[in-house]
Chain A
């Protein structure tokens, strides 16, 4: 079954970091990229960045440059997104999504809720 399985919900304090995982199955992981998109409660979608699963090139949205780190482990078909220096407005559901080759997303994980609260 083609799917992306994400790690569970996290609660963090301001200033901390969070690392979300996204394990791919049912397809050839290196053949696609992985994008990260977040959605604050009751809000729309916001693109954060992309990583090539094959060569690990990355591209971040300007807003997240210097604060987000995206990596992959091809041996386990898993992508990771680490967001540092968390603030309360980083509270959101974080999705990983498969990148087809053009920058749109044909397969999504179920999302990981990250709550930032003191």
Chain B
């Protein structure tokens, strides 16, 4: 099983600042990575797929990068609605799909 490790577990950021979230795969996954945002009590929302492609309707302040085993989600200027938990998910090793443990982005 491909283990996905996200860091940090919690990220404290002030509104307007940039947030950088990391996701590491235990083995090579090419660019087969998605990012989701989840707010309390709500379902996850797809942000990024194929490591760097924004999903429909996702603002340009969200960007994804990386390939192989190291990936990054960057939020260029945090808005109040961006404070949430973010998960990465690999889909290279179908049918084994795995999620990272999540990074909580909180207000500093």
Which residues of A are interface residues toward B (Cβ below 8 A)?
A: 37, 44-47, 50, 59-62, 95, 97, 102-106, 108-111
* Cβ distance A37 to chain B, nearest Cβ, rounded Å: 8
- Tell me the dominant secondary structure on chain A's binding face: strand
Task: For chain B, residues 43 to 73, give those with C-beta under 8 angstroms from any C-beta of chain A.
Answer: 43-46, 49-50, 55-56
Nearest neighbor of A111 in chain B, beta-carbon distance: B43
Interface residue count for B (Cβ, 8 Å)?
24
* Contacts between the two chains (Cβ within 8 Å), count: 55
Question: Which B residues are within 8 Å of any A CB, using their own CB?
Answer: 32, 34, 36, 42-46, 49-50, 55-56, 87, 89, 91, 94-102
B43 contact set on A, CB distance < 8 A: 95, 97, 108-111
CB atoms of A47 and B46 under 8 A apart: no
Closest to A4 in B: B43
